[in-house]
Structure 1
Amino acid sequence: MILKYIPLDEGMMIMDEAIVKAKKIIEGYPETKFSGEEYQRCVYFMCTYHSSNEKTMQLYEKFRNSLEESIFSTVLPTLVNKQGANLLREFVVIWSNYKLMARWLCRFFEYLDRFFIPQHIELESLNGISFSCFRDLVFKKLYCRLIEAALTLINQEREGQQIDCVLLKNVLDIFVEISDYKGANYYEDFERIMLTEISGYYSRLASEWLLYDSSAEYVQKVFWCLNREKQRARQYLHPDTEIKIVQVVRYHLLDQIANKLMEKRQAENSGMVTDYQWYCNACECTYLLQVLLVVFGEAILLDHLVGLELEVSGSWSIIIRRNIVEMCWHVPSRGKFFNITRRMALDANGKFSTYMLNLF
């Protein structure tokens, strides 16, 4: 049982003991099952008995110093020589352990947060010190390397390699978490760099595909890339980032080269879409439908729909018919397609489905 009167030197020794226990967490030891009440009382009695602000400020500085010492003695040596995925993996573990250690220290020094700091508005909260120490001494120093490692993983997956998507998501979540606390938006900085890389990547692909692929193959690849980028974004990026990525990909693969794509189609002797199943699926995307209309022309689309109509029977999936109807509904001169799509809307029993009736 700690007495109410605690000499300052003795109290500091008790708190040194508490700090050593907390540091075990960041060093990788299992979380120690100890009570913080003893150390909370120690800080309380030291602050109330030694009532001068100078003595209490020493405890405040001791809290900050304990965090900085942990960073310089354990965190930075652990991360400084790591690269790539290993750096990201260690960074996630260190951040988790650091937060747990800081949480215990905040509990030990709780009196400062509750009574001392509110009386001195110029002082940062204990939780704020925990974040700012890690941000300024660790995160800022490693930020460029973390971005490089994260972008390397993203590019590897884009090229077809298997990566640890959970690890990547955890790292980017830390970017957001640290950004949320009174600092620069590190995730937005990462996002801007990533979008720049994506722009260069798809600009190069557009040039290659225009040179070596037919217009039909080009559109099919665009559709595939858009789907893959959406899936990739949903796995580990912020929801708002997905929209930005799709806009960048569409701009470089479609908007920027629309005239060249049309010229390529006009120069081809043939190039009509023959894969009807892919055709139906692709046309679920109104944006891509508009590109198909530009590339192939309405007359060719009409010819294919006439041919496709002749093959439609009661055994055809109503979903496939629905896709065709939806596609035709977006064609500017949709009146031309009314008779065809009307018959395609019939289900196996020869009746209009409610969904199809709503379309018309």
Structure 2
Amino acid sequence: MGHKEIDMDEGWDIIQKWITKLKRISEGLPEPPFNVDDYVMLYSSVYSTCIQGPHHEYSAQLYNNEKHDEHLLRELVKRFANHKVMVKWLALCFNYLERYYIRQRALPTISEIGLTCFRDLVFDALKHKAKDVVIALIDREREGEEIDRALLKNVLDIFVEIGQGKMDYFEEHILRDTGNYYSCKASNWILSDSCPDYMIKAEECLEKERDRVSHYMHSSSAQKLVEKVEHELLVVNAIQLFEKEQAECRALLKEDRVDDLSRMCRLYHRIPNGLEQVASAFKQHVIVECTLLQLQQQILIRELIELHNQYMEYVSNGFINHELFHKALKEAFENFYNETVGGTLSSELMATFSDNIK
């Protein structure tokens, strides 16, 4: 007779109950003894979870169970909290030593010794695994999965406290992982997406990353993480983006797609020299539009003024009133005024046309 098939979640829930019982016994909490029948039940649960046939083999998942990984983080948070309570009470009990003996001899305080002991005996043994689990959870959230943000914050707070206000060890690894993650994303998007679509994805990623760091990253690392995302999405692929941008920016201007232009400007204004290419494309577009207003060696002044007002609106709103775009607009019109039409400067034709208006 074959055994009943169970899925991974069901099997792990059963196993977890027996593990909890063992933990309570080991901690001296009220719990019936772990007898032979209990052992047989736990062994059978593990066996049933592992042996599910060729299409449902859960041995590897059980060995590398993600829930176990999260359990490690919860256990670390719990143990550190308990340790701090114990150290607090010890510091109160040995307050006399703190105030006289320790202070007079400039010795480490009870609290400092307690933190050092936890770091050396517990944290150093677990920090590598804990770091890997935290980064894996962050990557899962980036892919749209819901995670326990409060748990991550509590774990990262331990990294900060152990690091005396810094999290250099974790920061080094999360920045490297973030760079690799978004480098892969950017490489795919740059090949498949138009410039506006790429910008939409980049802006969405940056917004989510800012939200993410505000919930569980320490302030000392938060800005570095956002800058890493900006670097991978906007700086590394800048040349390829600008090659697309030169053509597509003019198309966006021609189609009055202010939202896309504004997004492009918002993203690149934080990047050194990031707006120069956009401003150059804007300038060339304005020059072309001005040239189109020439008609039988006369310039339609009213339309030229309307054109200037239209692009001034772009500069003020779509291009966040940035000085580069004011300069580009000014130079575009200056370039047009100095062009020769039929042997006569455009500026002279404008003056003649104005004189003839009655």
Band the TM-score falls in, shorter-chain normalisation: 0.5 to 0.7
Q: For residues 292-303 of structure 1, what are the structure 2 equivalents within 5 Å?
A: 293=278, 297-300=282-285
**Is the Cα contact below 8 Å between 1:222 and 1:253 reproduced in 2?**
yes
Give the alignment partner of residue 334 of structure 1, picking from 329, 335, 354: 329
| Aligned-residue offset at 1:279 | 3.8
| Corresponding residue number in structure 1 for 2:164 | 180
Tell me which residue corresponds to 1:136: 120
1:248 matches 2:228: yes
Unaligned runs of 5+ in 2: 1-26, 30-65, 290-302, 334-358
Tell whether the 8 Å contact from 1:168 to 1:236 is kept in structure 2 after alignment: yes
CA RMSD of aligned residues (A): 4.0
Match of 1:238 in 2: 218
Q: Summarize the Cα distance change of 1:138–1:278 in structure 2 as closer, same or farther, 3 Å threshold.
A: same
Q: Tell me how far 1:193 sits from its aligned partner.
A: 0.7
- Aligned pair count reads 250
1:91 to 59, 62, 76: 76
Q: 1:337 to 1:229 in 2, by over 3 A?
A: farther
Q: CA deviation at 1:248?
A: 1.8
Q: Which amino acid aligns with 1:198?
A: T
Distance change in 2, residues 1:204/1:142 (3 Å): same
Task: Report the CA distance shift for 1:276/1:292 in structure 2 as closer, same or farther (over 3 A).
Answer: farther
Q: Distance in 1 between matches of 2:261 and 2:248?
A: 19
Residue of structure 2 equivalent to 1:101:
86
1:112-146 CA distance string (max 9 Å, x none): 2233334544x432122211111110111111011
Q: Which runs of 5+ in 1 are unaligned?
A: 1-26, 30-80, 314-318, 339-360
The 8 Å contact of residues 242 and 277 in structure 2, kept in 1 or not, is answered as no
2:141 is equivalent to residue 160 of structure 1: no
- Structure 2 match to 1:290: 275
Equivalent position to 2:317, from 323, 330, 333: 323
* TM-score between both structures, scaled by the size of structure 1: 0.58
Q: 1:216 to 1:130 in 2, by over 3 A?
A: same
Residue 183 of structure 2 corresponds to residue 203 of structure 1 = yes
Distance 1:179 1:92, change over 3 A: same
String of CA shifts for 1:295-327, please: whole Å, max 9, x gaps: 9554447889x9xx89x99xxxxx999633634
Shift of 1:162: 0.9
Task: Report Cα offsets for 1:251-278 as digits up to 9, x if no partner.
Answer: 2222222222233456879963754335
TM-score using structure 2 length: 0.58
Q: CA deviation at 1:282?
A: 5.1
Q: What CA deviation, in whole Å up to 9, does each residue of 1:127-180 have, x standing for no partner?
A: 222111111101111110111111111111111111111221121112111111
CA contact (8 A) 2:135 2:174 kept: yes
Is residue 258 of structure 2 the alignment partner of residue 276 of structure 1? yes
The alpha-carbon deviation at position 90 of structure 1 amounts to 2.0
Judged with a 3 Å threshold, the aligned counterparts in structure 2 of structure 1 residues 147 and 108 are, in CA distance, closer, same or farther, namely: same
Letter in 2 for 1:326: I
CA contact (8 A) 1:199 1:248 kept: yes
Partners in 1 of 2:282 and 2:316 — Cα distance?
Answer: 22
Maintained 8 Å contact 2:252/2:261:
no
